């Protein structure tokens, strides 16, 4: 009796496994088809018929969430209308799956110089335990980046950007802030004798 039971289980398990695998493949194919159809609709509506301020030359476009702007590069930016402390600004950006503004290369510095002339918190803070400045993504401020910082004062341990340079301020002060997140970049290309939209790698 025990052998019969084991034999039934031995043949039943592979059969169940094959059925589950078949169901998973069917679900995967359905999800892929639904995503592809949605991507084509989004591409056609927003990239071909959408706003003129999208980076759109007919075959490529950059998409950002509502109330976020594309201002060059591969990022979307949210400009706050209210002023908050550094911690509150950082928390809000994190809640939007984004980071508070980072200026980690010269090209980004030039881009930010074109923002409306306000004081913006940066994702840059002094860590007393390491005795150095760190970005919100936990990378240390480099020597090149330090050349953009003016009037370093370790008792005012948060940084903000104004006009062309970076300055210190107490973290409890309230300023405007900018959040940033990667843009969705779509590209149109040939796929089996028809043009489809694809998510372009950044």
Q: Per-residue pLDDT tens for 122-169? A: 999 988 888 888 999 999 988 888 887 776 666 668 999 998 888 888
Q: Which residues contact 15 (CB under 8 A, 6 or more apart)?
A: none
Same domain, 41 and 102: no
171: domain CATH number is: 3.10.100.10
Number of independent structural domains in the chain:
2
Residue 81 sits in the same domain as residue 149? yes
Residues 176 and 95 in one domain: yes
Residue 177's H or E segment, with its range, is strand 176-182
Report if residue 94 sits inside a domain. yes
Distances 14 to 8, 18, 99 between C-alpha atoms, Å: 11, 6, 48
Residues 7 and 43 in one domain: yes
Question: pLDDT per residue over 81-115, tens digit each?
Answer: 999 999 999 999 999 999 999 998 888 888 888 88
Whether pTM exceeds 0.75? no
Exposure letters 79-96 (e unless 16+ CB within 10 A, then b): bbeeebbbebbbebbeee
Please give the pLDDT value at position 57: 46
Q: What is the pLDDT of residue 78?
A: 96
Q: Are residues 120 and 171 in the same domain?
A: yes
Model confidence at 53, in pLDDT bands (50, 70, 90)? low
CA distances from 155 to 92, 160, 170 (A): 24, 14, 8
103 and 138 belong to one structural domain = yes
177 pLDDT band, cuts 50/70/90, is very high
Q: Are residues 161 and 87 in the same domain?
A: yes
Q: What is the percent of the chain where pLDDT is above 90? A: 29
Same domain? 108 vs 87: yes
In terms of domains, do 157 and 132 share one?
A: yes
Q: Is the dihedral of CA 29, 31, 37, 39 positive or negative?
A: negative
CB 157 within 8 A of CB 125: yes
**The domain containing residue 10 runs over which residues?**
2-56
Q: How high is the pLDDT of residue 145?
A: 84
């Amino acid at each position: 009796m025990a052998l019969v039971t084991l034999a039934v289980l031995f043949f039943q398990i592979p059969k169940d496994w094959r059925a589950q695998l078949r169901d998973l493949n069917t679900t995967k194919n359905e999800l892929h088809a639904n995503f592809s159809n949605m991507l084509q609709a989004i591409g056609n509506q927003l990239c071909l018929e959408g706003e003129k301020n999208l980076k759109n030359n007919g075959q490529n476009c950059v998409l950002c969430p509502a109330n976020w702007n594309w201002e060059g590069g591969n990022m979307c930016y949210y400009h706050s209308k209210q002023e908050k402390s550094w911690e509150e600004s950082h928390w809000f950006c994190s809640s939007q799956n984004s980071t508070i503004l980072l200026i980690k290369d010269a090209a980004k510095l030039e881009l930010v110089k074109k923002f409306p002339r306000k004081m913006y918190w940066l994702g840059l803070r002094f860590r007393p335990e390491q005795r150095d400045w760190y970005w919100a993504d936990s990378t240390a401020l480099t020597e090149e980046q330090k050349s953009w910082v003016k009037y370093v004062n370790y008792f005012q341990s948060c940084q903000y950007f104004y006009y062309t340079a970076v300055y210190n301020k107490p973290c409890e002060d309230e300023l405007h802030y900018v959040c940033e997140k990667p843009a969705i970049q779509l590209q149109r290309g040939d796929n089996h004798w028809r043009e489809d939209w694809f998510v372009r790698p950044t």
